[in-house]
Amino acid sequence: MTMKPDIVRRYLHNPILTKAEIPYPVETVHNAAVVKHENEYIMLFRSHLRTGRSIIGLARSPDGFHFAADPEPFLVPAQNTPFAAYEEFGVEDPRVTRLDGEYVITYSAYSRNGVRIALAKTKDFSQVERVSLITEADYRNVVIFPEKFDGLYARLDRPHSEIAPWSIWISYSPDLRYWGQSQLIMRPEPYHWDEMKIGPGAPPIKTDQGWLSIYHGVFRTMDGSVYRLGVALHDLANPAKIIGVGDSWILQPEDPWEITGYVHNVVFTCGAVLESDGTVKIYWGGADTVMCVGEANVSDLVALCLDHGRPAK
């Protein structure tokens, strides 16, 4: 019997960045955003400190595979109002979108008040300016589309609720500060690999057939939860409309550093880079401990959404 090749081809030399390569003390390197800026791939990665709280570091690469970390962290909990009160427990899981010639960074701000999302901007990844806290508690996984729709910015996010399963929502904004017109667009699918909760992963990627969203889905087992990655395709003109959701996962924990670590059985993405040849580099944290990369053909991911779908809600 011949084996079908995996839709995501893991890089042979994973993991690509670990705590051993960071020039300041950290316990983990994971859940990183990656974008191409000028001639470099820039990675913003999350690291746990020995307090159990997180900061965000920066690493650079000429090819998207070999990364070297800057000597100092990129973003640590704020000291100034209004951010300080909401970042006291750490900053986590950054996402980056290029918009209007600059980079918009969204990240989770943790505090005794819950988890909310903060938005910051940078032009060059040397200076970073916090703009606004754009959600109240409890939200995570905010990804911003790289284009406007009818003059409005759009984002996907994942509020928590005790009543409904944790689902993906869309909201719109005229200025990236004030957000509204929120609606639920995608739910976890019962008795399916993503049945417990889902959340946006990488900022959506534009393809001819729609916006490709790589999301995470969680399945609870007798031995804890398993985090996997899947794909959904959103209408190009109306991103609230989901054209298709791939029925099967595209990546699950399989390598030893994905199965065992700070949190077992986790692959979690915050970023992917589409290359001009139609491949997409997907970056993921393994077991909340190390960074990994793999490549897929964007056409295969789109085909999975279109040809092997499951209901969006």
Question: Which residues form the interface with ligand BMA (CB under 6 A)?
Answer: 31, 92-93, 227, 263, 266, 268, 285, 288
Query: Of 267, 189, 191, 188, which Cα lies nearest the Cα of 226?
Result: 267
Cβ 291 to ligand BMA shortest distance, Å: 12
* 73 vs 239 by CB, closer to ligand BMA: 73
C-alpha dihedral sign at 135, 138, 140, 143 = negative
CA–CA distance, 197 with 141 (Å, rounded to integer): 12
* 250 vs 266 by CB, closer to ligand BMA: 266
Other beta carbons within 10 Å of 34: 25
Query: Of 192, 183, 205, 168, which Cα lies nearest the Cα of 310?
Result: 192
Cβ 226 to ligand BMA shortest distance, Å: 10
* 64 vs 285 by CB, closer to ligand BMA: 285
Cβ 92 to ligand BMA shortest distance, Å: 6
CA–CA distance, 156 with 203 (Å, rounded to integer): 9
* 194 vs 288 by CB, closer to ligand BMA: 288
Question: What are the start-end ranges of the H helices in 203-297?
Answer: 256-259
* 103 vs 166 by CB, closer to ligand BMA: 166
CA–CA distance, 7 with 202 (Å, rounded to integer): 17
Phi, psi for residue 90 in degrees, rounded to 5: 125, 170
Cβ 263 to ligand BMA shortest distance, Å: 4
Cβ 224 to ligand BMA shortest distance, Å: 10
Question: What are the start-end ranges of the H helices in 57-119?
Answer: 84-87
* 185 vs 266 by CB, closer to ligand BMA: 266
Cβ 144 to ligand BMA shortest distance, Å: 18
* 105 vs 304 by CB, closer to ligand BMA: 105
Helix, strand, coil share (%) of the chain residues, nearest 5:
5, 50, 45
Q: Kindly provide the residue ranges of all beta strands, DSSP E only, lying in 62-113, ordered along the sequence.
A: 68-69, 90-99, 102-111
Cβ 287 to ligand BMA shortest distance, Å: 8
Q: Are 144 and 121 in contact (CB under 8 A)?
A: no
DSSP conformational letter for 123: S
